[in-house]
Structure 1
Amino acid sequence: MDETSEEGHQEVAAALNELATEMVRHLLSERQGMSLTTAATLSRLEREGPVRLTALAAAEGIAQPSMTALVQRLEDQGLATRVGHPGDGRVRLVAVTEAGRELMAGRRRAQCARVADMLAALPGQDVRALGEAMRTALPLVRRMLRPAPQPTVSGGEPAS
C-alpha cells in the first residue's frame, strides 16, 4: 500500500472514530437507567441468540464473575433467562427475554427520536446530503465489521 492510501485510510479511520464517539456520547448522555455494558450485553443476546456465560463475558470484555452478576441482575429484572443448550443438556445458555427485547426496542426508538430532533435543526439540503452519505456508508461499515472468513482445510473444517 502506498503512502497516499495509508494516509487516506488514517483520515477515514479518524473521521469514523470521531463520528462513532460523538454519536455514542450524545445518545448515551441519557442512559435511560441502564449502563452501557448492560445495553451492550442485551443487544448482543438479541443479535446472536443464546450464548454461554463465559463466551458472553469474553465478547463483552469483562471478567466472568462480573458477567455472572450482570446476568443475575438481568434475570431478576426479567430481561434475560438461562436456557438449556439444544445439543448438550448439561450446558446452560443466557438468552434475552421478550421483556428484554421490548426494553431494547424502546431504547432504540428513544435514541432514533433524539437523532431525528437533531436532524430537524438542519436545513433540508444538509439532511438530504447526510441521508445520501449514510446510504453509502452504512453498508460499507457493516461489511467492514463482518468477521473475515476463516480459511478451511479439506473436509470443510476451519484451519487452526
Structure 2
Amino acid sequence: MIDISPGSALLAVGLERLYEALRRLTPRDGLSLTALSTLKRLARLGPQRLSELHAAENVTQPAMTQLVARLGRDGLVARGSDPADGRAVVVSITAAGRDLVERRRVGYAAALDAVLEKLRPADREALIAALPAMERLAEATAAEGREVAEAASPAREVRQAC
C-alpha cells in the first residue's frame, strides 16, 4: 500500500486537470505527443541513442524504432551509428525538426497567452512565481524516471494519508 500525503493528492488532481487542459492547446497537426516529446528532447539534449529515447519516453524499443523511422521519413530526424559502438543507433534532430519544434512552441505560447489574458492579474503573477518550483518538480520527476512510474502503477493499492 502506498501512503500519499493530502498535499500530493491535491497536486496530482490539479496537475492532471492542467495537463489535460494544456493538451487541448496543442496544435492538431498529426504529430503525436510522444513524437513531439522526442523531438523536443533531441533539440534540448542533442543526439541520443535509440535505447535512451525509448527509456526516456517510456515506450518499448520497437515502438521507438517505428517512431524514429516515421520521423526520419518526414525529414525531422536523422539516424546514424554511435562512434563508440557501431551497433548502436544514434538519433539526431534535423533543421526541419528544429523548425517544427520552434513553430509549435510559438503556436502553443500564443494559445496559452490568449487563455492567460482571461485570468486575473494576481493569478497570472502567482503562476509566474510558481515557475521555479515547477521547474524543480520537472527536474526531480525526470531524475526519478521510470522507477516512480512503475511504483505508482494503478495495479498497486494506494492509501491517501489523512
Give the TM bin, normalised by the shorter chain.
0.7 to 0.9
1:142 maps to: 135
Deviation (angstroms), 1:21: 2.2
Deviation (angstroms), 1:85: 3.1
1:48 maps to: 45
Counterpart of 1:33 in 2: which secondary structure?
coil
User: Could you tell me which of 75, 86, 91 is aligned with 2:72?
Assistant: 75
After superposition, residues 46-125 of structure 1 pair within 5 angstroms as 46-120=43-117, 122=118
Higher Rg of the two aligned structures: 1
Higher RCO structure, 1 or 2 (CA under 8 Å, sep 6+)? 2
Give the CA RMSD over aligned residues.
Answer: 2.3
2:12 maps to: 13
Q: Which structure: greater strand fraction?
A: 2
Counterpart of 2:92 in 1: which secondary structure?
strand
Partners of 1:66 and 1:136 in 2: how far apart?
A: 38
Contact 1:32 1:107 in 2 (8 A): no
Counterpart of 2:48 in 1: which secondary structure?
coil
Deviation (angstroms), 1:102: 0.6
Unmatched segments (≥5 aa) in structure 1: 149-160
Aligned positions, number: 139
TM-score normalised according to structure 1 size? 0.74
TM-score normalised according to structure 2 size? 0.74
Partners of 2:58 and 2:8 in 1: how far apart?
A: 27
Identity across aligned pairs (percent)? 40
Unmatched segments (≥5 aa) in structure 2: 145-162
Contact 2:116 2:124 in 1 (8 A): no
